[in-house]
Chain A
Amino acid sequence: AQTVTQSQPEMSVQEAETVTLSCTYDTSESDYYLFWYKQPPSRQMILVIRQEAYKQQNATENRFSVNFQKAAKSFSLKISDSQLGDAAMYFCAYRSSNYGGSQGNLIFGKGTKLSVKP
């Protein structure tokens, strides 16, 4: 079974600075998807960024980028020029790329609470 681990329960960053959130995962599959979701106090999960395991190039979405290390099974999220609105819980998630045993459900880590200081 696949697992996702986020070892940083809480992180803090100064506004306009850069912060990196860590995520590791375990899987025996060679092809899969990885995601970072943001969950503000409103509880609604919002997709931040997605990475396909077969792609060597790291995904980037504006101020958000990932460092995907497939051999190390590591998938960190870098937030540049942090803004007050970035404060939220961040979840790393895994999804298989074939239906097989799972039907496409997401497997989440426990999350990292990010605080942004003005």
Chain B
Amino acid sequence: GAGVSQTPSNKVTEKGKYVELRCDPISGHTALYWYRQSLGQGPEFLIYFQGTGAADDSGLPNDRFFAVRPEGSVSTLKIQRTERGDSAVYLCASSLVGLYNEQFFGPGTRLTVL
């Protein structure tokens, strides 16, 4: 079956603009995670969905960042009033419920804010 997919692969935007990043998880995976990976760093947790609800959004850096998962499948990460410091690779991962289960990662979206 298909793995986790993310679109777009690359996104270039100007400071102050609004962007949406999409994640299509593996079918049947109810757990979905967003991570942000800045240059030269490991991924950092942003938000976790269990089904349709955000079970943990403690990693979102500020209120410009928001994510939804309205039908419990596809998720969209939304960034308002982008800043140059938002430039990073945004990774999505999905898994079956349960902490033992492996998180499968997508290829990420590289966001560049000019």
* Partner-B contacts on A (CB < 8 A): 4, 33, 42-47, 50, 91, 93, 95-99, 102-111
Contacts and interface: CB of A to CB of B under 8 A. Distances in A.
A7 to B, nearest CB: 13
Nearest to B34: A105
Contact of B56 (A105, A106, A110): A105
B85 interface: no
Interface of A is mostly: loop
Interface string B80-96: 00000000010101010
Contact of A45 (B41, B43, B44, B45): B43
Most chain B beta-carbon neighbours within 10 Å: one of A93, A97, A102: A102
A50 B55 CA distance: 25
Most chain B beta-carbon neighbours within 10 Å: one of A33, A95, A108: A108
B42 A109 contact: yes
Given A45-B91, A110-B41, A104 B99 contact: yes
Contacts of B56: 102-103, 105
Nearest to A6: B42
